[in-house]
Amino acid sequence: MKSLSNRRVLLGITGGIAAYKSAELTRLLTKAGAEVRVVMTQSATEFITPLTLQALSGNRVHTTLLDTEAEAGMGHIELARWPDLVLIAPTSANFIAKISEGKADDILSTVLLATKAPIAIAPAMNQAMWSNQATQQNLQTLQQRGIAIFGPGSGEQACGDVGLGRMLEPEQILAMSAALFDEGLLAGLRIVITAGPTQEAIDPVRYISNRSSGKMAYALATEAAQAGAQVTLISGPVALATPERVKRIDVISAQEMLEASIACAPACDVFIGVAAVADYRPAQFAEQKIKKSDDTMHLELTKNPDIITAIAALEKRPFTVGFAAETNSIEQHGAEKLARKKLDLLFANDANATLGSDSISATALWSKGSQALGPASKRSVALQMLTLIRTRYDARANHRD
Protein backbone atom coordinates (compact mmCIF):
# COMPACT_ATOMS: atom_id res chain seq x y z
CA MET A 1 0.00 0.00 0.00
CA LYS A 2 1.21 3.51 -0.74
CA SER A 3 2.06 5.60 2.27
CA LEU A 4 0.09 8.28 4.11
CA SER A 5 3.17 9.16 6.14
CA ASN A 6 3.35 12.90 6.77
CA ARG A 7 0.11 13.56 4.88
CA ARG A 8 -2.48 15.96 6.26
CA VAL A 9 -5.97 14.48 6.21
CA LEU A 10 -9.04 16.52 7.05
CA LEU A 11 -11.69 13.97 8.02
CA GLY A 12 -15.27 15.15 7.65
CA ILE A 13 -18.04 13.26 9.43
CA THR A 14 -21.72 13.66 8.60
CA GLY A 15 -24.79 12.30 10.40
CA GLY A 16 -25.41 8.58 10.11
CA ILE A 17 -25.03 5.37 12.07
CA ALA A 18 -21.80 4.62 10.17
CA ALA A 19 -20.18 7.51 12.06
CA TYR A 20 -19.10 4.99 14.69
CA LYS A 21 -16.63 3.63 12.12
CA SER A 22 -15.00 7.06 11.89
CA ALA A 23 -13.31 6.51 15.24
CA GLU A 24 -11.46 3.47 13.90
CA LEU A 25 -10.71 5.28 10.65
CA THR A 26 -9.17 8.15 12.60
CA ARG A 27 -7.04 5.70 14.56
CA LEU A 28 -5.85 3.94 11.41
CA LEU A 29 -5.02 7.19 9.61
CA THR A 30 -2.97 8.37 12.58
CA LYS A 31 -1.23 5.01 12.88
CA ALA A 32 -0.33 5.22 9.17
CA GLY A 33 1.58 8.44 9.87
CA ALA A 34 -1.02 10.97 8.75
CA GLU A 35 -1.88 14.07 10.75
CA VAL A 36 -5.64 14.13 11.16
CA ARG A 37 -8.01 16.96 11.90
CA VAL A 38 -11.72 16.29 12.20
CA VAL A 39 -14.69 18.40 11.12
CA MET A 40 -18.18 17.28 12.16
CA THR A 41 -21.62 18.40 11.13
CA GLN A 42 -24.06 19.02 13.97
CA SER A 43 -25.98 15.85 13.13
CA ALA A 44 -22.76 13.81 13.28
CA THR A 45 -22.32 14.81 16.93
CA GLU A 46 -25.58 12.98 17.69
CA PHE A 47 -23.93 9.68 16.72
CA ILE A 48 -20.37 10.09 18.05
CA THR A 49 -18.88 12.69 20.36
CA PRO A 50 -16.25 15.25 19.33
CA LEU A 51 -14.29 14.29 22.45
CA THR A 52 -13.80 10.75 21.09
CA LEU A 53 -12.40 12.05 17.80
CA GLN A 54 -10.23 14.60 19.60
CA ALA A 55 -8.68 11.87 21.75
CA LEU A 56 -7.97 9.68 18.72
CA SER A 57 -6.65 12.42 16.41
CA GLY A 58 -4.77 14.41 19.03
CA ASN A 59 -6.28 17.58 17.57
CA ARG A 60 -9.22 19.78 18.41
CA VAL A 61 -12.44 18.87 16.57
CA HIS A 62 -14.24 21.56 14.57
CA THR A 63 -18.03 21.73 14.65
CA THR A 64 -18.96 25.39 14.08
CA LEU A 65 -18.55 27.68 11.10
CA LEU A 66 -17.45 30.85 12.89
CA ASP A 67 -14.46 30.09 15.10
CA THR A 68 -13.72 32.76 17.71
CA GLU A 69 -10.39 31.11 18.52
CA ALA A 70 -9.15 31.16 14.91
CA GLU A 71 -7.31 34.02 13.26
CA ALA A 72 -9.95 36.67 12.36
CA GLY A 73 -12.60 34.09 13.23
CA MET A 74 -12.16 32.47 9.81
CA GLY A 75 -11.43 28.94 10.94
CA HIS A 76 -12.97 27.37 7.86
CA ILE A 77 -10.50 29.16 5.58
CA GLU A 78 -7.54 28.04 7.69
CA LEU A 79 -8.85 24.47 7.59
CA ALA A 80 -9.41 24.63 3.84
CA ARG A 81 -5.76 25.60 3.26
CA TRP A 82 -4.34 22.96 5.59
CA PRO A 83 -4.97 19.44 4.17
CA ASP A 84 -3.47 17.26 1.48
CA LEU A 85 -6.78 15.38 1.34
CA VAL A 86 -10.33 16.07 2.48
CA LEU A 87 -12.02 12.76 3.26
CA ILE A 88 -15.70 12.62 4.24
CA ALA A 89 -16.64 9.36 5.90
CA PRO A 90 -19.49 8.73 6.28
CA THR A 91 -21.14 10.93 3.66
CA SER A 92 -24.92 11.00 3.97
CA ALA A 93 -27.36 11.30 1.05
CA ASN A 94 -28.33 14.75 2.32
CA PHE A 95 -24.72 15.94 2.37
CA ILE A 96 -24.11 14.59 -1.14
CA ALA A 97 -27.12 16.60 -2.33
CA LYS A 98 -25.88 19.71 -0.51
CA ILE A 99 -22.37 19.72 -1.95
CA SER A 100 -23.57 18.84 -5.45
CA GLU A 101 -25.50 22.13 -5.35
CA GLY A 102 -22.48 24.02 -4.00
CA LYS A 103 -24.14 25.01 -0.74
CA ALA A 104 -22.07 26.24 2.20
CA ASP A 105 -24.28 26.47 5.25
CA ASP A 106 -22.09 24.66 7.79
CA ILE A 107 -18.36 24.34 8.45
CA LEU A 108 -17.83 21.13 6.47
CA SER A 109 -19.61 22.22 3.28
CA THR A 110 -17.89 25.61 3.49
CA VAL A 111 -14.46 23.99 3.77
CA LEU A 112 -15.22 21.92 0.67
CA LEU A 113 -15.99 25.03 -1.36
CA ALA A 114 -12.85 26.80 -0.13
CA THR A 115 -10.28 24.01 -0.39
CA LYS A 116 -8.01 23.23 -3.32
CA ALA A 117 -7.09 19.84 -1.88
CA PRO A 118 -8.32 16.56 -3.41
CA ILE A 119 -11.69 15.45 -2.03
CA ALA A 120 -12.94 11.90 -1.43
CA ILE A 121 -16.26 10.77 -0.03
CA ALA A 122 -17.37 7.45 1.46
CA PRO A 123 -21.18 7.28 1.05
CA ALA A 124 -23.33 5.62 3.71
CA MET A 125 -27.11 5.37 3.43
CA ASN A 126 -30.09 3.07 3.02
CA GLN A 127 -30.02 1.01 -0.17
CA ALA A 128 -33.18 2.71 -1.52
CA MET A 129 -31.67 6.16 -0.95
CA TRP A 130 -28.50 5.05 -2.72
CA SER A 131 -30.35 3.79 -5.80
CA ASN A 132 -32.62 6.84 -5.97
CA GLN A 133 -32.22 8.72 -9.24
CA ALA A 134 -31.60 12.03 -7.45
CA THR A 135 -28.69 10.55 -5.47
CA GLN A 136 -27.16 9.00 -8.57
CA GLN A 137 -27.39 12.28 -10.48
CA ASN A 138 -25.76 14.09 -7.56
CA LEU A 139 -22.94 11.54 -7.53
CA GLN A 140 -22.37 12.01 -11.27
CA THR A 141 -22.04 15.75 -10.65
CA LEU A 142 -19.44 15.17 -7.95
CA GLN A 143 -17.48 12.72 -10.13
CA GLN A 144 -17.41 15.27 -12.95
CA ARG A 145 -15.83 17.74 -10.50
CA GLY A 146 -13.05 15.25 -9.73
CA ILE A 147 -14.30 14.09 -6.34
CA ALA A 148 -13.31 10.49 -5.61
CA ILE A 149 -16.08 8.18 -4.43
CA PHE A 150 -15.10 5.29 -2.18
CA GLY A 151 -17.79 2.62 -2.28
CA PRO A 152 -20.32 2.03 -0.99
CA GLY A 153 -20.25 -1.61 0.01
CA SER A 154 -23.07 -4.09 -0.06
CA GLY A 155 -24.59 -6.04 2.80
CA GLU A 156 -26.98 -5.91 5.72
CA GLN A 157 -27.80 -2.37 6.86
CA ALA A 158 -28.73 -0.98 10.27
CA CYS A 159 -32.36 -0.63 9.16
CA GLY A 160 -32.51 -4.33 8.24
CA ASP A 161 -32.36 -3.84 4.48
CA VAL A 162 -29.75 -5.62 2.37
CA GLY A 163 -27.98 -4.01 -0.59
CA LEU A 164 -25.61 -1.23 -1.65
CA GLY A 165 -25.21 1.66 0.73
CA ARG A 166 -22.97 0.45 3.58
CA MET A 167 -19.92 2.58 4.22
CA LEU A 168 -16.74 0.71 3.37
CA GLU A 169 -14.70 -0.64 6.24
CA PRO A 170 -12.03 1.72 7.67
CA GLU A 171 -9.21 -0.48 6.37
CA GLN A 172 -10.58 -0.20 2.82
CA ILE A 173 -10.96 3.57 3.06
CA LEU A 174 -7.43 3.85 4.42
CA ALA A 175 -6.00 1.93 1.44
CA MET A 176 -8.02 3.93 -1.09
CA SER A 177 -6.93 7.21 0.50
CA ALA A 178 -3.27 6.21 0.37
CA ALA A 179 -3.63 5.21 -3.29
CA LEU A 180 -4.45 8.82 -4.17
CA PHE A 181 -0.86 9.86 -3.44
CA ASP A 182 2.44 9.14 -5.12
CA GLU A 183 4.77 7.33 -2.76
CA GLY A 184 7.68 9.55 -1.71
CA LEU A 185 11.36 8.64 -1.75
CA LEU A 186 11.41 8.23 2.04
CA ALA A 187 7.80 7.19 2.61
CA GLY A 188 7.41 5.30 5.86
CA LEU A 189 10.92 6.01 7.16
CA ARG A 190 11.35 7.55 10.60
CA ILE A 191 14.32 9.92 10.60
CA VAL A 192 15.99 11.76 13.48
CA ILE A 193 18.31 14.68 12.65
CA THR A 194 20.48 16.67 15.05
CA ALA A 195 21.00 20.31 14.15
CA GLY A 196 22.85 23.50 15.00
CA PRO A 197 25.45 24.12 17.70
CA THR A 198 25.35 23.25 21.38
CA GLN A 199 26.12 25.82 24.06
CA GLU A 200 28.11 24.83 27.15
CA ALA A 201 27.58 27.20 30.05
CA ILE A 202 30.53 28.82 31.85
CA ASP A 203 28.34 30.93 34.13
CA PRO A 204 24.75 32.24 33.87
CA VAL A 205 25.66 34.66 31.04
CA ARG A 206 28.60 33.06 29.20
CA TYR A 207 29.08 29.87 27.22
CA ILE A 208 31.39 28.18 24.74
CA SER A 209 30.08 26.85 21.46
CA ASN A 210 30.84 25.84 17.87
CA ARG A 211 29.96 27.90 14.82
CA SER A 212 26.88 26.49 13.12
CA SER A 213 23.85 28.11 11.48
CA GLY A 214 21.88 24.84 11.39
CA LYS A 215 21.00 25.46 7.71
CA MET A 216 22.23 22.07 6.44
CA ALA A 217 20.28 20.08 9.03
CA TYR A 218 17.14 22.14 8.49
CA ALA A 219 17.44 21.67 4.72
CA LEU A 220 17.66 17.91 5.28
CA ALA A 221 14.63 17.97 7.60
CA THR A 222 12.62 19.98 5.06
CA GLU A 223 13.44 17.69 2.15
CA ALA A 224 12.97 14.51 4.19
CA ALA A 225 9.49 15.57 5.32
CA GLN A 226 8.52 16.45 1.74
CA ALA A 227 9.78 13.03 0.65
CA GLY A 228 7.36 11.32 3.04
CA ALA A 229 9.53 10.63 6.08
CA GLN A 230 8.43 11.20 9.66
CA VAL A 231 11.09 13.62 10.85
CA THR A 232 12.22 14.55 14.34
CA LEU A 233 14.66 17.46 14.53
CA ILE A 234 16.75 17.73 17.70
CA SER A 235 17.98 21.30 17.49
CA GLY A 236 20.49 23.38 19.35
CA PRO A 237 19.97 27.17 19.47
CA VAL A 238 19.47 28.50 15.91
CA ALA A 239 17.58 31.39 14.31
CA LEU A 240 15.56 29.17 11.95
CA ALA A 241 11.86 28.36 11.72
CA THR A 242 10.74 24.77 12.21
CA PRO A 243 10.10 23.13 8.82
CA GLU A 244 6.52 22.11 8.11
CA ARG A 245 5.52 18.59 9.19
CA VAL A 246 8.65 18.22 11.33
CA LYS A 247 8.66 17.54 15.06
CA ARG A 248 11.25 19.74 16.77
CA ILE A 249 12.93 19.13 20.12
CA ASP A 250 14.92 22.11 21.39
CA VAL A 251 18.07 21.50 23.43
CA ILE A 252 21.00 23.66 24.53
CA SER A 253 23.88 21.54 25.78
CA ALA A 254 25.59 18.46 24.40
CA GLN A 255 24.29 16.43 27.33
CA GLU A 256 20.70 17.47 26.56
CA MET A 257 21.21 16.59 22.88
CA LEU A 258 22.62 13.19 23.85
CA GLU A 259 19.66 12.42 26.11
CA ALA A 260 17.14 13.45 23.43
CA SER A 261 19.01 11.41 20.79
CA ILE A 262 19.16 8.27 22.95
CA ALA A 263 15.43 8.64 23.69
CA CYS A 264 14.50 9.00 19.99
CA ALA A 265 16.95 6.53 18.42
CA PRO A 266 15.19 3.22 19.28
CA ALA A 267 12.08 4.27 17.36
CA CYS A 268 13.83 5.62 14.26
CA ASP A 269 15.12 3.98 11.08
CA VAL A 270 17.76 6.58 10.21
CA PHE A 271 19.77 8.83 12.52
CA ILE A 272 21.61 11.77 10.90
CA GLY A 273 24.07 13.61 13.13
CA VAL A 274 24.52 17.03 11.55
CA ALA A 275 24.85 19.11 14.73
CA ALA A 276 28.15 20.85 15.48
CA VAL A 277 28.33 19.52 19.03
CA ALA A 278 30.81 21.32 21.28
CA ASP A 279 33.72 18.92 21.89
CA TYR A 280 34.34 20.24 25.40
CA ARG A 281 32.43 21.89 28.23
CA PRO A 282 33.60 23.75 31.34
CA ALA A 283 34.51 21.33 34.12
CA GLN A 284 32.80 23.61 36.62
CA PHE A 285 29.76 25.85 36.20
CA ALA A 286 29.91 29.12 38.15
CA GLU A 287 26.55 29.76 39.81
CA GLN A 288 27.15 33.52 39.70
CA LYS A 289 28.58 35.67 36.90
CA ILE A 290 32.40 35.58 36.93
CA LYS A 291 33.75 39.11 37.43
CA LYS A 292 36.46 40.59 35.21
CA SER A 293 39.00 40.98 37.97
CA ASP A 294 42.11 39.69 36.18
CA ASP A 295 43.68 40.19 32.76
CA THR A 296 43.50 36.44 32.10
CA MET A 297 41.09 33.68 33.05
CA HIS A 298 41.91 30.01 33.22
CA LEU A 299 39.11 27.67 32.21
CA GLU A 300 39.31 23.93 32.75
CA LEU A 301 37.44 21.93 30.10
CA THR A 302 36.21 18.36 30.12
CA LYS A 303 35.26 16.26 27.11
CA ASN A 304 31.64 16.12 26.01
CA PRO A 305 29.92 12.84 25.12
CA ASP A 306 30.23 11.75 21.47
CA ILE A 307 26.61 11.54 20.38
CA ILE A 308 27.02 9.88 16.97
CA THR A 309 29.33 7.23 18.45
CA ALA A 310 26.80 6.50 21.19
CA ILE A 311 24.02 6.02 18.62
CA ALA A 312 26.19 3.78 16.41
CA ALA A 313 27.01 1.63 19.45
CA LEU A 314 23.38 0.91 20.38
CA GLU A 315 22.40 -2.76 20.37
CA LYS A 316 19.41 -1.95 18.16
CA ARG A 317 21.01 0.78 16.11
CA PRO A 318 19.40 2.80 13.34
CA PHE A 319 21.16 3.43 10.03
CA THR A 320 23.65 5.98 11.31
CA VAL A 321 24.89 8.93 9.25
CA GLY A 322 27.56 11.39 10.35
CA PHE A 323 28.96 14.70 9.14
CA ALA A 324 32.58 15.84 9.22
CA ALA A 325 33.31 19.55 8.81
CA GLU A 326 37.07 19.69 8.25
CA THR A 327 39.52 22.46 7.39
CA ASN A 328 42.17 20.28 5.72
CA SER A 329 42.63 16.74 4.33
CA ILE A 330 38.85 16.57 4.20
CA GLU A 331 38.33 13.13 2.66
CA GLN A 332 41.13 11.54 4.69
CA HIS A 333 39.80 12.84 8.00
CA GLY A 334 36.27 11.94 6.93
CA ALA A 335 37.24 8.34 6.11
CA GLU A 336 39.01 8.01 9.46
CA LYS A 337 35.92 9.28 11.28
CA LEU A 338 33.66 6.90 9.33
CA ALA A 339 35.75 3.90 10.41
CA ARG A 340 36.47 5.05 13.96
CA LYS A 341 32.85 5.75 14.80
CA LYS A 342 31.52 2.73 12.87
CA LEU A 343 29.07 4.75 10.81
CA ASP A 344 27.05 3.55 7.82
CA LEU A 345 27.60 6.74 5.85
CA LEU A 346 29.40 10.05 6.33
CA PHE A 347 29.36 13.40 4.52
CA ALA A 348 32.64 15.30 4.67
CA ASN A 349 32.83 18.96 3.74
CA ASP A 350 35.11 21.99 3.91
CA ALA A 351 34.16 23.95 7.04
CA ASN A 352 35.80 27.13 5.73
CA ALA A 353 33.49 27.23 2.71
CA THR A 354 30.33 25.92 4.35
CA LEU A 355 29.79 27.63 7.71
CA GLY A 356 26.95 30.14 7.45
CA SER A 357 26.68 29.69 3.69
CA ASP A 358 23.55 28.73 1.75
CA SER A 359 25.55 26.41 -0.53
CA ILE A 360 27.72 23.36 0.05
CA SER A 361 29.83 20.73 -1.65
CA ALA A 362 30.53 17.46 0.13
CA THR A 363 31.94 13.99 -0.36
CA ALA A 364 29.81 11.03 0.67
CA LEU A 365 31.86 8.17 2.13
CA TRP A 366 30.89 4.61 3.04
CA SER A 367 32.82 1.39 3.61
CA LYS A 368 33.48 0.60 -0.06
CA GLY A 369 32.65 3.74 -1.96
CA SER A 370 32.40 7.51 -2.24
CA GLN A 371 30.46 10.09 -4.21
CA ALA A 372 30.90 13.83 -4.77
CA LEU A 373 27.85 16.01 -4.08
CA GLY A 374 27.45 19.65 -5.14
CA PRO A 375 28.48 22.37 -5.17
CA ALA A 376 24.89 23.57 -5.03
CA SER A 377 22.38 25.04 -2.60
CA LYS A 378 22.00 23.21 0.70
CA ARG A 379 18.42 22.29 -0.20
CA SER A 380 19.59 20.78 -3.50
CA VAL A 381 22.47 18.88 -1.91
CA ALA A 382 20.18 17.76 0.92
CA LEU A 383 18.00 15.96 -1.63
CA GLN A 384 21.10 14.30 -3.14
CA MET A 385 22.15 13.21 0.35
CA LEU A 386 18.72 11.77 1.14
CA THR A 387 18.65 9.89 -2.15
CA LEU A 388 21.98 8.30 -1.29
CA ILE A 389 20.84 7.56 2.26
CA ARG A 390 17.82 5.73 0.84
CA THR A 391 20.05 3.73 -1.50
CA ARG A 392 22.54 2.79 1.22
CA TYR A 393 19.75 2.07 3.73
CA ASP A 394 18.09 -0.36 1.29
CA ALA A 395 21.49 -1.94 0.51
CA ARG A 396 22.10 -2.61 4.20
CA ALA A 397 18.59 -4.00 4.63
CA ASN A 398 19.24 -6.40 1.72
CA HIS A 399 22.77 -7.22 2.94
CA ARG A 400 24.36 -5.68 -0.15
CA ASP A 401 27.32 -3.33 -0.16
> CB count, 10 Å around CB of 82?
16
What is the reported pTM? 0.74
Express each pLDDT in 309-346 by its tens digit. Answer: 999 999 999 999 999 988 888 889 999 999 999 999 99
Residue 1 inside a domain? The answer is no
Last residue of a domain, one of 154, 178, 202: 178
- 184 in a structural domain: no
Domain final residue, candidates 150, 178, 206: 178
| Residues 244, 377 share a domain | yes
109 and 157 housed in the same domain = yes
Condensed to tens digits (0 to 9), the pLDDT of residues 354-393 reads 776 888 889 999 998 999 998 899 999 999 999 999 999 9
Residue among 327, 283, 277 nearest 306 (CA): 277
**Which residue did the predictor score with more confidence, 355 or 220?**
220
Percent over 70 (pLDDT), the chain:
97
Question: Could you tell me which of 158, 226, 165, 224 has the C-alpha nearest to residue 195?
Answer: 224
Q: Is residue 3 situated within a structural domain?
A: no
Give catalytic residues, as residue numbers: 159
- CATH, residue 23: 3.40.50.1950
Q: Quick one: 111 and 231 in the same domain?
A: no
In order of 98, 146, 281, the CA distances from 137 in angstroms are: 13, 15, 72
Same domain assignment for residues 173 and 210: no
Same domain assignment for residues 55 and 147: yes
Same domain, 204 and 338: yes
With contact defined as beta carbons under 8 Å apart, do 304 and 278 qualify?
yes
Residues, the chain, total?
Answer: 401
Residue 289 scores a pLDDT above 70: yes
138 located within any domain? yes
Q: Verify that 25 and 68 share a domain, yes or no.
A: yes
The whole-angstrom separation of Cα 174 and Cα 29 is 7
143 is in which domain, residue-wise? 8-178
Say yes or no: 365 and 267 in one domain: yes
Contact 240, 218 (CB under 8 A): yes
> Does residue 230 share a domain with residue 366?
yes
pLDDT, tens digit (0-9, with 9 covering 90-100), for 145-181: 999 999 898 887 777 777 888 999 999 999 999 888 8
Number of domains in the chain: 2
Please check whether residue 2 lies inside any domain of the structure: no
Name the residue among 380, 302, 394 with its Cα closest to residue 345.
394
